[in-house]
């Protein structure tokens, strides 16, 4: 790709996560000169990487590959044609000492709750449906009005408050609208009335008992999500793109010639500068705005400084056991326990563990870097995770033989009351003052994106760059993510890419 009468256009990409690598993959495939800088010295894939500890592989949260966009699904197949497994989802909710299948199984709910509690739950649901109150602005009101107070307290409150570290009343209703909009109790109930699946108990292998139509299925690379991103990185380099690991971008200066001068900190402690024609950034939006020269207007700097994140840590526990629970993951709604979710990685792919007589559980803790939990030593965290696993009855004394801790800062962009206004201010400032700078991805746009939407922002950005004009409004991606949970009830939704294409850019 060349501008008229000029040398080949050079594009710099900050970050080798799904968004950065997707942009680099597509641009290098179109013969564009691409350079990618990744701060991590070892792993590509960003939050979607796969960590390896003594041959055990684990994700930063289990990563499902599922998209309503055929283009994204096709791209995954193209990047990793032979190594994607088809997985049936099996996950349950642990609440008040009992396990509940998800999608909900009505007979099981009634069995667990008893008839009286079940009737009260149904009554609270219909009471909420009959309510005529105005649009809710916080998560508690949004969920209560949609599902009733009892279901809210059973299946939303405790887990959601663990994830966000704040009361549901302080979480914007936008989050619910984006993440659980399509979840309909009627659809779930209808699905539940179809032939029942036999929910296996801990210790049973169970997967062949499962009636497939009730399960959301997804794809998963046999060595975890990092496998796909390693393949993307290799393809980019085969196409002539350059990937620099252990290279942190420290600052960006717009030159008088309208190019971007990038300050790089290398793994050996040295610094380097490099100039590119256009930049794609998947680094956190707040960081980006603070590190631009010339500086953006004060309102944008203030907005950037106020963007908040939620952090996350995984304690990978390694057990000598063949008696593992059958689910891919469990949601732990029990408020007395700190753990929020437990992954069983060998149920995602048997190749995630090097020895079939061992299992690896990802004990997931949602926290903030200021919390005592985050600052605990690895040994303390492994001890806590082991105690919590034992208290749930998911392991026997002496079975946990080893563990590893991975801390993930800025895992979740926080949707507080003002985040939309802040994004608008930053977006306007970038558009006015930073031509040739494109923001993509999850933290890059401060948008709660999964891999597919993170990739879509990059796909559209690559198309805009190749076309030399703003064909697509990248900020429009993922204003509608109802497939995430409603897929369980079999909803079909049109491609999000088509929606974005139809809307005017801006």
Ligand X SMILES: Cc1cc2nc3c(=O)[nH]c(=O)nc-3n(C[C@H](O)[C@H](O)[C@H](O)COP(=O)(O)OP(=O)(O)OC[C@H]3O[C@@H](n4cnc5c(N)ncnc54)[C@H](O)[C@@H]3O)c2cc1C
Question: In the complex, which residues of this chain contact ligand X (CB under 6 A)?
Answer: 14-20, 37-40, 46-48, 60-64, 248-249, 282-283, 312, 411-412, 441-444, 449-452, 454
Smallest separation (angstroms) from ligand X to the CB of 10: 17
Q: Which is nearer to ligand X, 117 or 473 (CB)?
A: 473
Q: Which is nearer to ligand X, 15 or 224 (CB)?
A: 15
**Sign of torsion, CA 166 168 169 175?**
positive
What the block records as the tokens of 226 is 């990092």
- CA 306 – CA 303 distance, rounded (Å): 5
Q: How many residues does the chain have?
A: 506
Residue with tokens 């998947």: 282
| DSSP for 180-201, written as a single string | STT--HHHHHHHHHSSPP-PPP
C-alpha torsion angle, residues 78, 345, 349, 318 (rounded to 10): 130
- CA 389 – CA 64 distance, rounded (Å): 23
Residue with tokens 């564009």: 32
Residue with tokens 């350079």: 35
**Sign of torsion, CA 506 437 12 251?**
negative
Smallest separation (angstroms) from ligand X to the CB of 330: 14
Smallest separation (angstroms) from ligand X to the CB of 136: 26
Q: Which is nearer to ligand X, 291 or 491 (CB)?
A: 291
Smallest separation (angstroms) from ligand X to the CB of 275: 17
Strand partners, 332: 94
Q: Which is nearer to ligand X, 422 or 442 (CB)?
A: 442
Smallest separation (angstroms) from ligand X to the CB of 442: 4
Q: Which is nearer to ligand X, 109 or 440 (CB)?
A: 440
Residue with tokens 């891999």: 451
Q: Which is nearer to ligand X, 221 or 444 (CB)?
A: 444
Smallest separation (angstroms) from ligand X to the CB of 436: 18
- CA 333 – CA 1 distance, rounded (Å): 52
DSSP-based three-state secondary structure for 114: coil
Name the H helices within 114-184.
115-130, 139-147, 149-152, 158-164, 173-179
Smallest separation (angstroms) from ligand X to the CB of 454: 4
83 CB burial (10 A radius; 0-12, 13-18, 19+): middle
Q: Which is nearer to ligand X, 149 or 286 (CB)?
A: 286
Smallest separation (angstroms) from ligand X to the CB of 47: 3
Q: Which is nearer to ligand X, 224 or 441 (CB)?
A: 441
DSSP-based three-state secondary structure for 221: strand
Q: Which is nearer to ligand X, 16 or 276 (CB)?
A: 16
- CA 455 – CA 442 distance, rounded (Å): 9
Q: Which is nearer to ligand X, 184 or 314 (CB)?
A: 314
Smallest separation (angstroms) from ligand X to the CB of 331: 12
First to last CA, the chain: 24
Smallest separation (angstroms) from ligand X to the CB of 367: 12
């Amino acid at each position: 790709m060349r501008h008229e009468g000029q040398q080949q256009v050079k594009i710099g990409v900050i970050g080798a996560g799904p968004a950065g690598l997707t942009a680099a993959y597509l641009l290098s495939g179109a013969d564009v000169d691409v350079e990618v800088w990744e701060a991590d010295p070892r792993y590509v894939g960003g939050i979607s990487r796969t960590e390896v500890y003594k041959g055990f592989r684990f994700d930063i949260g289990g990563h499902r590959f599922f998209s309503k966009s055929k283009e994204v699904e096709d791209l995954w197949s193209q990047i990793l044609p032979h190594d994607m497994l088809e997985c049936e989802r099996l996950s349950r909710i642990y609440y008040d000492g009992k396990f509940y299948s998800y999608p909900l199984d009505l007979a099981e709910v009634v069995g667990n709750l008893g008839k009286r509690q079940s009737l009260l739950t149904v009554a609270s649901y219909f009471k909420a449906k009959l309510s005529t109150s105005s649009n809710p602005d916080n998560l508690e009101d949004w969920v209560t009005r949609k599902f009733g107070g009892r279901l809210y307290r059973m299946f939303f409150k405790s887990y959601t408050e663990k994830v966000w570290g704040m009361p549901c009343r302080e979480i914007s209703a936008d989050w619910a609208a984006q993440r659980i909009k399509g979840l309909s109790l009627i659809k779930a109930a209808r699905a539940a009335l179809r032939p029942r699946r036999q929910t296996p108990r801990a210790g049973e292998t169970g997967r062949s008992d499962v009636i497939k139509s009730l399960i959301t299925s997804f794809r998963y690379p046999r060595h975890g999500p990092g496998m796909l991103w390693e393949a993307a990185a290799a393809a980019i380099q085969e196409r002539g793109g350059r990937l620099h690991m252990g290279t942190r971008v420290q600052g960006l200066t717009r030159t008088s010639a309208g190019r971007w001068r990038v300050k790089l900190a290398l793994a050996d402690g040295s610094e380097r500068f490099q100039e590119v024609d256009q930049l794609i950034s998947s680094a956190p939006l707040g960081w980006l705005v603070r590190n631009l020269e010339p500086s953006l207007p004060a309102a944008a700097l203030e907005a950037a400084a106020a963007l908040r994140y939620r952090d996350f840590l995984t304690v990978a526990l390694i057990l000598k056991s063949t008696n593992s629970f059958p689910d891919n993951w469990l949601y732990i709604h029990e408020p007395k326990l700190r753990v929020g979710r437990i992954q069983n990685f060998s149920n995602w792919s048997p190749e995630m563990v090097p020895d079939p007589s061992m299992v690896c559980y990802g004990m997931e803790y949602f926290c903030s870097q200021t919390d005592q939990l985050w600052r605990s030593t690895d040994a303390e965290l492994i001890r806590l995770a082991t105690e919590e696993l034992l208290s749930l009855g998911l392991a026997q004394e002496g079975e946990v033989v080893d563990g590893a801790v991975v801390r993930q800062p800025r895992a979740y962009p926080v949707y507080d009351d003002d985040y939309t206004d802040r994004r608008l201010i930053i977006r306007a400032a970038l558009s006015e003052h930073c031509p040739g700078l494109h923001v993509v991805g999850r933290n890059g746009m401060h948008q709660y994106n999964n891999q597919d939407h993170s990739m879509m922002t990059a796909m559209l950005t690559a198309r805009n760059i190749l076309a030399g004009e703003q064909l697509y409004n990248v900020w429009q991606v993922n204003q509608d993510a109802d497939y995430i949970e409603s897929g369980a009830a079999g909803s079909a939704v049109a491609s999000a890419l088509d929606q974005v294409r139809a809307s005017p850019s801006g």
